[in-house]
Amino acid sequence: MSKYTSETIIRTVRENHIQFVRLQFTDIFGQLKSVTLPASQIEKAVNGQIMFDGSSIEGYTRIEESDQYLRPDLDTFAVLPWNQEYGVCARMICDVCNPDGTAFSGDPRGVLHKVLKKAADMGYTFNVGPECEFFLFKTDADGKPTTKTNDEVGYFDQGPLDSAEFTRRQICLALEKIGFEIEASHHECAAGQHEIDFKYADALTAADNIMTFKLAVKTLARKDGLHATFMPKPIFGVAGNGMHINMSLFRDGKNAFYDENGTHQLSPIAYQFIAGVLEHIPAICALSNPLVNSYKRLVPGYEAPCYISWSTGNRSALIRVPAPRGTSTRLELRNPDPSCNPYLALAACLAAGLDGIERGLTPPEEATENIYELTNEQRIARGIGSLPSSLREALDALRADPLVCGVLGEHALSQYLAGKEEEWKSYCTRVSSWEVERYITLY
Ligand code: GLU
Ligand code: MG
């Protein structure tokens, strides 16, 4: 049931002297965009009458068909708790529509809606709990980001050694004000690296929450003179930023991955879902690990996965089944990073899992040992494949996977591939500092 109606929102805006309303949506490459309206426009806004120029948004439309409408999801209404000294601003997250009212096929939120509908038709609700990691860097005299970390400590260290402890608290408090249930926050492994975990939700809400979370972290870090980044591997030689996603399917109010009598108390559905994700993971990577830089994180030695495997305990596996069972039974997919467009990444993971269920797939044997310690020959003999080692390989895997291509649909797929091919080409033709250091005196 919906929390809000148009009338309750109009009333709330008027009675609480809210001065601005921000309509948010996400471009295909995961950037949060918005149109800000004075509160006088709230009726038009809730009725989906606000138009914008879609041709100016990455991956949206061509100039000849540029008029698009923002249809707010009323349940995402929230008063933004920061910068209120510049006017109290509420936001709503929107679906993007064509002038005739139909869903726009290039809207990432719409892409997720479609796969969720398929899951619902099969009787499932998809729940997701993300674990977002980020770095806090110092800024220079011009306020530009540096790669100097804000502290020199590691896993679970606390203040005063962890000098961003209070920034993290401010972020948690702000998110609680807009309805997040924060479960934990801590200093992560690398100097200047942090994690804040919030409660799982249905996948659409989880994707919306990831977008809101990133905005909150960046906004509140800046207030403390810091630059927050979700870039997957900002510093060579230390841990990168992951966004592990904990996934579960519910059916008739019960966790469909749990079976008291199954091996490891997992149901056949859980095994089929694992098998589906493992089969499609190379293509999923193009969405869940979308940057050139994403693949510098997926290397041995930093708790990020490199091989296609699953396990009930072992953190070196790509899919881990954490200990809790019953309602909390879930699969933790460890390759995604927080630079991804969460709508597209979650849509692809769900579609892959459902494919495993529909085809009754069986996963390979569980990897019980530390996979990094196996030799290449041992891994090949065990049938453990490797994740794509570059954006190039991931894009090729995406093109070769009709199921994941179908999730995006023709329009979003062609726009996505065009943008990513350009990114890859631009990267390949640059001369990096590593190349200069390595070659300039030798040759
Ligand atoms: N930072 C690690 C990664 O890149 C994950 C650390 C952890 O297990 O929380 O995925
Ligand atoms: Mg972590």
What is the per-residue pLDDT for 379?
87
Q: 69: closest CA among 61, 59, 77?
A: 61
Catalytic position from the list 27, 151, 162, 188: 188
Q: Let me know: does 242 contact 131? Beta carbons within 8 Å.
A: yes
Is 393 annotated in the active site? no
| pLDDT tens, position by position, 191-244 | 999 999 999 999 999 999 999 999 999 999 999 999 999 999 999 999 999 999
Taking 3-state DSSP, the helix, strand and coil percentages for the chain, each rounded to the nearest 5, stand at: 40, 20, 35
Q: Which residues of the chain have pLDDT under 50?
A: none
Q: Is residue 188 flagged as an active site residue?
A: yes
pLDDT at 372: 83
Token code pair at residue 210: 């990831």
Query: What pLDDT, in 10s, does the model give residues 400-411?
Result: 999 999 999 999
Q: How far apart are CA 94 and CA 21, in angstroms?
A: 12
pLDDT of residue 161: 76
Q: Closest ligand to 184 CA?
A: 2
- State yes or no: is 58 an active-site residue: no
Tokens of 25: 């949506």
In the annotation, is 85 catalytic? no
Give CA 165 to chain center in angstroms: 24
- State residue 373's pLDDT score: 85
Catalytic residue of the set 107, 332, 355, 401: 332
Closest ligand 1 atom to residue 244 Cα is: 10
Give distance in angstroms: CA of 42 to centre of ligand 1.
42
Residue 380: what pLDDT?
A: 86
Instruction: Kindly identify the ligand whose nearest atom is closest to the C-alpha of 317.
Output: 1
Output the CA 216–ligand 1 centroid distance in Å.
21
**185 CA to middle of ligand 2, Å?**
10
Q: What is the pLDDT of residues 388-432, one digit of tens each?
A: 999 999 999 999 999 999 999 999 999 999 999 999 999 999 999
